[in-house]
Structure formats: C-alpha cells, structure tokens
Amino acid sequence: MRGHACTFVAVVLLVGMGGCSTGVLHGLDEAAANESLAALERAGIGAEKVAEAGGQTSGFALQVSRGDAARALDVLRVRGLPRERRHGYAEVYGQASLIPTASEERARYLEATAGEVERTLETAEGIISARVHLVLEEVDPLSMEGKPRTTARAAVLIKA
C-alpha cells in the first residue's frame, strides 16, 4: 500500500511540474530558436527548445518556467530577438512571376541587395541587427547628357 502511495505522489508531482513552463516564442526556424535560446541561457534563464508540428505554426518554440517568462521576454526584446529576416537574392529571385515588369525587377533587386548587406553586417561581432535602405542611381532615358537623375545612396541603422 505504501508503494502505491509513493507512486501516486510521484505522478502528481510530475504532472504538476509539467504545467510550470510556458511558451515565449513560437514558429521559429532553427537558427532563430538557437540564437534566442543562447541569449536566454547567457542571461541565466533556463529555456528549452521544442519542435512544433502541425497546426498554424511549424518550426520550433521556446519554453521557460512561468516565473521567468516576463524576464525572458524582456531579454529577448532588448536584444532584438528573434530577428526579422529580410530576403536575400535566393529568396527574392526564387519567386518567379510569369512576366515581371521593370519596376518589379528593380524592387526585387533592391530588396535582395539590401538583404545581403544586412546579413553581412549582422555577421560582425557585437552587431545585434542591421537595417539597410538603398537608392540606386537612376538615369533619365530622355536626357541628352546621360547624367543621373538621382545619385546612389544608402541608409544603414545598426543596433549593437
């Protein structure tokens, strides 16, 4: 009888402990989940990466104890995690349309180039995130001199 009571208490404790964690992030790709998990661990917050399947989201989720949830969300917010990923060349040019217009091609090219510059900047030590906006040189096709109507410019925001 005593053995059954101990087993019952152990089961109750395990079930009760299972409800002590809460999800703070969902639908992450593995790289974003790993980066966020590492940031939480460095901040002294125990977290667990869990694979999600089916439903509205897929990928990975991060779970922390309920007592650490608010602090975990603060750490992630301060560090800009998970990072919003912009599309690079492969993603932008991989989306083919039947007959793209010149402006669509130009927009795709600008988006892809800015995405590649952002990725390069974010690989530098100490950079949390980067945002890049580009304006390429534009030549007036009706101009006799062939001078550019606009000059090329870039605006970069770096969060370190």
| Pick from 20, 58, 65, 57: nearest CA to 40 | 65
- What's the domain count of the chain? 2
Confidence of residue 16 (pLDDT cuts 50, 70, 90): very low
Does 118 map to a domain?
yes
Q: Are 121 and 130 in contact (CB under 8 A)?
A: yes
**Residue where a domain stops, chosen among 78, 105, 123:** 78
Please check whether residues 73 and 7 belong to one and the same domain. Answer: yes
Pick the range with the lowest mean pLDDT from 10-14, 90-94, 146-150. 10-14
Confidence of residue 105 (pLDDT cuts 50, 70, 90): confident
Single-letter residue type at 94: G
Please check whether residues 9 and 68 belong to one and the same domain. Answer: yes
Does 69 map to a domain?
yes
Backbone angles phi, psi at 157, to 5 degrees: -115, 125
pLDDT at position 153: 93
Does 84 map to a domain?
no
pLDDT at position 76: 94
Residue 10 has pLDDT above 80, yes or no: no
Tens of pLDDT, residues 32-59: 899 999 999 999 999 999 998 776 657 8
Model's pTM, two decimal places? 0.54
Which contiguous run of DSSP H or E holds residue 125? none
Confidence of residue 109 (pLDDT cuts 50, 70, 90): confident
CATH number for 129:
3.30.300
CB-facing half-sphere around the CA of 53: CA atoms within 13 A: 1
Does 85 map to a domain?
no
Compute the distance between CA of residue 100 and CA of residue 36 in angstroms, rounded to an integer.
38
Domain interval for residue 97: 90-159
Please check whether residues 59 and 98 belong to one and the same domain. Answer: no
